[in-house]
Amino acid sequence: MTCDRLVCANCAAPVSEGRCPVCRASRERLQHQEGIFGALTPAALIALLVVLVALTVLARGFAG
């Protein structure tokens, strides 16, 4: 999840702007949680999964 669409409950501003200490803390926490696949959208993750399944099916077809 990204902080682009999140609204702070403390100051009612977008978290991505970091106007108050709560916003800044939340933004930092979200940035540390992202990891390797955090920047990918759900659609990109599904497309990656489809490609991996297709490659597995092709590999089994060539092995047999």
Q: Is the pLDDT of residue 14 over 80?
A: yes
Q: Is the pLDDT of residue 1 over 60?
A: no
Q: What sign does the CA torsion over 4, 10, 12, 18 have?
A: negative
Q: Is the pLDDT of residue 21 over 90?
A: yes
50 close to 41: Cβ distance less than 8 angstroms: no
Q: Where are the domains of the chain?
A: 1-33, 37-64
Please name the residue ranges forming H helices in 1-64: 21-33, 42-63
pTM value > 0.85: no
Q: Is the pLDDT of residue 4 over 80?
A: no
Vertex 50 angle, CA 48 and 53, to 5°: 110
Tell me, what's the pLDDT at 27?
A: 84
